[in-house]
Structure 1
Amino acid sequence: MPTPPPRIAVIGGGPAGLTFARVLQRHGLPVTVHERDRDPVDRAQGGSLDLHRDSGQVALTAAGLLDEFFAASRPEGQALRLLDRAGTVLLNAPADPDDRFKPEIDRGELRALLLGSLEPGTVEWDRRLRAAVPLGDGRHRLDFTDGRSTTCDLLVGADGARSAVRPLLSDAEPAHSGVVFVDVVLTDVDRAHPELAELIGHGMTFALDEGKGLLAQRNSGGVIRVHAAFRAPSDWGRDLDRGALRAVLLEMFADFGPVLRDVLHRGEGPFDVRAITALPVGHRWRHRPGVTLLGDAAHLMSPFAGQGANLAMLDAAELAERIAAGGPLDEAVAAYEERMFPRSAEAAARAATGIEDCIGPGGPAHAFAHFQAITAGNPQRT
């Protein structure tokens, strides 16, 4: 009698969990993804992602979705600008229309692409993990807040910064980086805010001063998302409503140019406040049979290396392909972890340096060197 395939359960339906499920299914292996969202449109997915040729695109190739990604992505979104607080352009790195080094795609579009590739019923929605109970031999019982339970031979935590699976492997918790983001969105920018749309361009624009900046990113559909970034305690702004947040930010960025300040004057919301957190650089754990982590659950870092989603998807594809290759399940997981640890440590170190370069005391001068190094990494960019 043939050996039945392992029962694999994934916690988290983000890019990592969905990529992992897709690659497993391409190899004929069953998998279930448990996602706390009530349905695919339960909440907005946020801004856009650049998927890199040597990581995110490798994962999409393993998933058989690279052509669909290129059809939905925006090569022009790779453009990068660095401005000083007055709006003077210090660095301008445009992108060619056929540049496939790291095209942008909206998070919602990427999620829809991955979801649409999965077998019906793969994702179980509205499933929030309450407890994972070890049963021995690497098996776990998963208890959910709705009262349901299931068992698995491999538990994969792809559940992000506040992972409920991570405590099975590590006592590490994300720590505040010292930087806070306030998120602002503008819509219909080419018609309603043409001067701002022209200044920001088609990709990512950083307008920086010492210890603060406005980080603007063009999304599809005439949307620009902006992060007002500055150094503050993790609980900053907790008691401020939208009007008070706008007033405080206008005062904080009073020395920025008028076009840049228009982001804060005209921003439609949501004015969500987020403390930027990270796991310790080089975070790792002693291998334990039957459980592992992907993406932010394993190596949460600041966004200033541009690697979070890329590494998450690469993690997912590599783990799935090692499992699909056959052999003992535990050996496949251990081999994945040993390859992932040094790769994520290197990226996390770059992210920690990047946040200091961009939102630190050096201001635009340090950021200029940081972004020159980024653009130099693409042989198609000048």
Structure 2
Amino acid sequence: MSTTPRIAIVGGGPGGLVCARTLQQHGVAVTVFEREVTPDSRSQGGTFDIRADTGQVGLRAAGLFDEFLALSRPEGQEMRLMDRSATLLRHHRPEPGDIGAPEIDRGQLRTLLLDSLTPGTVRWDHAVEKTVPLPDGTVRLEFTRGSAEEFDLVVGADGPWSRVRPALSDAQPAYSGVTFVEVHFNDVDRRFPAIAERVGQGMMWAKAGPLSLIAQRNAAAHIRVYVGFRGPLDWHADIDLADTDAVRARLLGRYEGFDGSLLDLMRHNDGAFINRPVFVLPVPHTWNRVPGITLLGDAAHLMPPVGVGANLAMLDGAELAQAIVDRPGIEDAVAVYEDAMLPRSTDQAGTAGAMLAALLPDTDSTEPDFPDFLG
């Protein structure tokens, strides 16, 4: 980079923060705008695996790989696959020293990334209302608070409902036909030892045709369960999602025939049921270049949650930052980045869609039918 550009990253998720950290590692100034009011405004979600060929590449570029390993849980790579009678069909145990895809809680990873940035890098409570390309090739960010600022490069890292993407693309996320309902268990080893034992140190997945129960161990004796099924977006239209008893009854009815030990994952959870319909962007999702704007992560390639998205976001962030450092100008850097990112994301999104169809097929069968690539 031969000049000092004004760079803004919209969104403080893993991809945006890896990009910011990598830029700062090379002495490039950057500002991150985050709509959340504080770092602790909301839960950052559950656990996810950081893969050697994507997310770990991003963390190495950010100079944080060793710190990540110290926080990660390699034992979380354990996987238990069951049918609806709770019969164990496959059991994968990671080998000692296996760090191919260790787990880490999203909150832990975000804290690691935030703490690595120069103080003041993230400007909290700055929700973007609109992204406006200007005739001179710069970009104006307009915020919901009424202020505006101009930049040489705006990076949309602001997730599925990006406020940067409309400046590049008319694409909008569409419902995939799959919904997950999330539930939580706290202090699980003491309060629910049978559930803790069934889940183990990693993930337990029980499946019958298009119905899945996925339980994942998080840090601090916490387990999150994802009740996954195919159905209409308004599957809950005649009940109140805030009515825990009504949602529980609806889900238990849908999963009739599952073993009681599996149904306990919906009977005894702590707190509310959280509805999480799965949305995706079209494949391929591409755009004509607009000076001073690009996208990364879910803003660029929202795909089913099969362990790919956040890892690709971190790889995106690292590669964009490196291109900015290596190339003589912003537009050259963005071209190099997008020429690699767009075909890769098209390929990965197609694979993720096929994985979702295999894991939650549109079928009346009650067979488990786990694909061979699992376990």
**Residue aligning to 2:166:** 167
Q: CA deviation at 1:294?
A: 0.5
Asked if structure 2 preserves the Cα contact closer than 8 Å seen for 1:138 and 1:291, the reply is no
Matches within 5 A, 1:217-236: 217-236=216-235
Asked if structure 2 preserves the Cα contact closer than 8 Å seen for 1:35 and 1:123, the reply is yes
**Residue aligning to 1:380:** none
Q: Aligned AA for 1:349?
A: G
**Residue aligning to 1:369:** 372
Question: How many percent identity over aligned positions?
Answer: 50
Superposed CA offset, 1:223-278 (max 9, x none) = 11001011111232254222211111111112111111111010113311111011
Q: Counterparts of 1:159 and 1:226 in 2: how far apart (Å)?
A: 26
Q: Counterparts of 1:97 and 1:320 in 2: how far apart (Å)?
A: 34
**Residue aligning to 1:298:** 300
**Residue aligning to 1:321:** 322
**Residue aligning to 2:312:** 311
Asked if structure 2 preserves the Cα contact closer than 8 Å seen for 1:237 and 1:273, the reply is no
Q: Aligned AA for 1:134?
A: P
SS class of match (2:101): coil
Asked if structure 1 preserves the Cα contact closer than 8 Å seen for 2:84 and 2:368, the reply is no
SS class of match (1:369): coil
Q: Aligned AA for 2:142?
A: D
**Residue aligning to 1:153:** 152
**Residue aligning to 2:274:** 272
Q: CA deviation at 1:366?
A: 3.6
Superposed CA offset, 1:120-177 (max 9, x none) = 0000000110112221232111111111211100010000000111111111111111
Superposed CA offset, 1:3-26 (max 9, x none) = 641000111000011111000000
Q: Which moved more, 1:20-29 or 1:209-218?
A: 209-218
Q: Counterparts of 1:132 and 1:21 in 2: how far apart (Å)?
A: 19
Q: CA deviation at 1:364?
A: 5.1
1:136 aligns with 2:135: yes
Asked if structure 2 preserves the Cα contact closer than 8 Å seen for 1:84 and 1:208, the reply is yes
Q: Counterparts of 1:112 and 1:364 in 2: how far apart (Å)?
A: 41
Measured at CA, do residues 355 and 363 of structure 1 come closer, stay the same or move farther in structure 2, by a change above 3 Å? farther
Q: Which structure ranks higher in relative contact order (CA pairs < 8 Å, sequence separation ≥ 6)? A: 2
Q: Aligned AA for 2:279?
A: T
Q: Aligned AA for 2:355?
A: G
Q: CA deviation at 1:97?
A: 4.1
Measured at CA, do residues 3 and 357 of structure 1 come closer, stay the same or move farther in structure 2, by a change above 3 Å? closer
Unaligned 5+ segments in structure 1 are 376-382
Superposed CA offset, 1:196-230 (max 9, x none) = 11111111121111111101111011111001011
Q: Counterparts of 1:81 and 1:6 in 2: how far apart (Å)?
A: 49
Q: Counterparts of 1:156 and 1:215 in 2: how far apart (Å)?
A: 34
**Residue aligning to 1:256:** 258
Q: Counterparts of 2:366 and 2:60 in 1: how far apart (Å)?
A: 39
Matches within 5 A, 1:91-102: 91-102=90-101
Asked if structure 1 preserves the Cα contact closer than 8 Å seen for 2:57 and 2:315, the reply is yes
Measured at CA, do residues 3 and 70 of structure 1 come closer, stay the same or move farther in structure 2, by a change above 3 Å? closer
Asked if structure 2 preserves the Cα contact closer than 8 Å seen for 1:357 and 1:370, the reply is no
Measured at CA, do residues 197 and 348 of structure 1 come closer, stay the same or move farther in structure 2, by a change above 3 Å? same
1:243 aligns with 2:242: no
State how many pairs are aligned. Answer: 370
Q: CA deviation at 1:370?
A: 3.8
TM-score after normalising by structure 2? 0.96
Asked if structure 1 preserves the Cα contact closer than 8 Å seen for 2:209 and 2:368, the reply is no
Superposed CA offset, 1:317-371 (max 9, x none) = 0000000113121011011111011211121112111111111126655423241
1:80 aligns with 2:83: no
